[in-house]
Each structure stands twice: as C-alpha cells, then as structure tokens.
Structure 1
Amino acid sequence: MLLSVVAGALWAMLPAYVPNNAAVLAGGGRPIDGGRTLGDRRLLGDGKTWRGTAAGTLAGVTLAVGLNAVAGLVGDATGVRLPTFPLVAAFGLSVGAMVGDVAASFLKRRSGRQRGAAFPGLDQLDFVVGALVCGFLLAPTWFRVTFTLPRLAVVAVATPALHVGTNVVAYRLGLKDEPW
C-alpha cells in the first residue's frame, strides 16, 4: 500500500518535476518581463524567459505522453497501478509548474532578493503549488482521482528533498549558479 501511494504520487508529479529543469537547459532569450520594473526592481529578471517557459512546458507534456505509453508495463512489472495523463492534465501540471516558478520569482523580486537568492520553502514548493492548482483547474475530475490526500502528503514531503537534490546535481554540473 505505501509503495503504491509513493510511486503513484511521484509518477503523477513527474510532468511537473521536469519543466523547471528543462527550462534551465533551454533557457536564455527574451525575458518574460521584457526588462520592465515595478518601482526600482525588475518584475521577474533575466532568468525567466519565454523560451525556457515554452521548453519546460513542452518537456513536461512530452514526458506525460511517454509515461502514458509505459504506465501499463511499469505497473505490471511493479504491481503498482500508475496514473495516466489526459493531455489537458499533462499541460496543466507542466505549465502550472512554470507559472508557479514565475510567481515565486515575482515574490522574490518584491522581497528584495536578487536572482538566484535562496527563499527557503518557496523555492522548493512554488512549482508544486502552481502545478497542482493548474492541474485541478484544467482537469478537476482527473485531479481528484489522481491526487488523493495520501498522495498529496507524499508530494509535500518528498518534493523538497527531491528539489534540493536535483539542484545540487545541477550546480555541480555547472548548470546552475547556486545549489538551491
């Protein structure tokens, strides 16, 4: 039972976990905020780009399509029933992860933090909140079936650890300027 809950939760979140990493790899280009400021601070900063956002969203949706293709095989091999993703849910999770990250960037700028500065809690869960909200708004029936309370609890506990771990790896590979 515990294996099923954990595996189902992490599987369901994969289309939300991947977009920010893909955005880092494909980033660059025109900033979403176009260089605009609010008061004396940038709205978002150079780190939030249209190309990164589009690439991240596309990566998440593409991953969901791939997961759909193998869910039955993986489920049979592990004895765990894994969720599949309607396209609208895949899009909601992926674009929601990007929207959550952009919203966090806005909050960081308003609080006076520079690009890349740590904001504990927000840094680890911004994309999760965005993904879950957008997933719910775009595919409410699928969301209710997929994200049970036990699965949401796993997401809330596991995501910060996974986020920190992947950021440390990206930092050591030279893909990020800071390990958070």
Structure 2
Amino acid sequence: MSNRFNRPVDGGLVLGDGFPLFGSSKTWRGLVAALMLSAAAALLLGLPLLAGLALGAGSMCGDLLSSFIKRRLGRASSTQFLGLDQIPEALLPLLVGLVWFDYSWLAMALIVAAFFVLELTTSPLFYILGIRRRPF
C-alpha cells in the first residue's frame, strides 16, 4: 500500500520563521480518518451526515490551528502545550455545531472543560496501550 496518506498535510512547507506550517505529525491519513469517523459517528447517532463531517472538520481545524500556533512559538511537533492542545480542538466544532444544535454558551464551556479533562486522563492510558507514541 502507498504511503501517500502518511504525508504531512502542510506538504513539508517551512515558513519564514524556519518552522513548518503545521509539522510532520499532521498527516492526510489522520485528517481523512477523523472525517470518516466523525461522519460514521453522526450516522450511528442519527445525526445528519453533513453535521458529522462539519464537526469533524471543525475539530481538525482546531487541531491544525493549535499546531500552527505551537510552531510559531518554536515548539517541536508532538510536544504538549496545556490548553492550546485541547481548547481549539473542542471549541471550534462546537461553534460549527451551532448550525445544527441549540446549546448555550455555558453548555459549550462545560463541554470544552470535559474534553480537556478527558483528553488529559485518557492520553496516558492510550500511551500504555500503544495507541499513542507519547503519554500526552
């Protein structure tokens, strides 16, 4: 099988600051998998396919935004940055979801907080299980 989906989303582009646009850990494989899983989850939950795709895209945009900011701050790919690694990835899909769902700003804040805690507690477990390469 071809490794073309293992290529970085940014194509290896390095900006004027000497750092990549996103980094090598943001691959087409991960992006496509996230969109497919989001769409499948939406269908399983009885939600519109487009909503699932949009929420998945929002999450991936949040993840890419975090990576972009971390590269501009000189952080290496796959390094942890508490808050920046969790908040955009949870908040952007919630903002996109306002098209389909009517939730309050308080609900959004609670969901972001829950995602933050869940991500911090499950990442070490995923590392132990061999799903993640790093415990964060």
- What range is the shorter-chain TM-score in? 0.7 to 0.9
Partner of 2:51: 89
Residue 123 (structure 2) aligned to one of 167, 173, 178: 167
SS at match of 2:79: coil
2:43 paired with 1:65 = yes
SS at match of 1:165: helix
- For structure 1, the 5+ residue unaligned runs are 1-27, 69-84
2:111 paired with 1:155 = yes
Larger proportion of helix: 1
Matched to 2:42, the amino acid is: A
Q: CA RMSD in A?
A: 1.6
Cα pair 2:58 2:96 within 8 Å, conserved: yes
Partners of 1:44 and 1:153 in 2: CA distance: 26
String of CA shifts for 1:117-175, please: whole Å, max 9, x gaps.
11111112121122123333xxx2x22x2x22342232032111111122111111222
Identity %: 37
Partner of 1:45: 23
TM-score when scaled to structure 1? Answer: 0.67
Q: CA deviation at 1:61?
A: 1.1
* Corresponding residue pairs, total: 131
- For structure 2, the 5+ residue unaligned runs are none
Q: CA deviation at 1:47?
A: 0.6
Matched to 1:119, the amino acid is: F
Distance 1:41 1:150, change over 3 A: closer
Larger relative contact order (CA 8 Å, sep ≥ 6)? 1
String of CA shifts for 1:86-142, please: whole Å, max 9, x gaps.
222221111111111011111111100001211111112121122123333xxx2x2
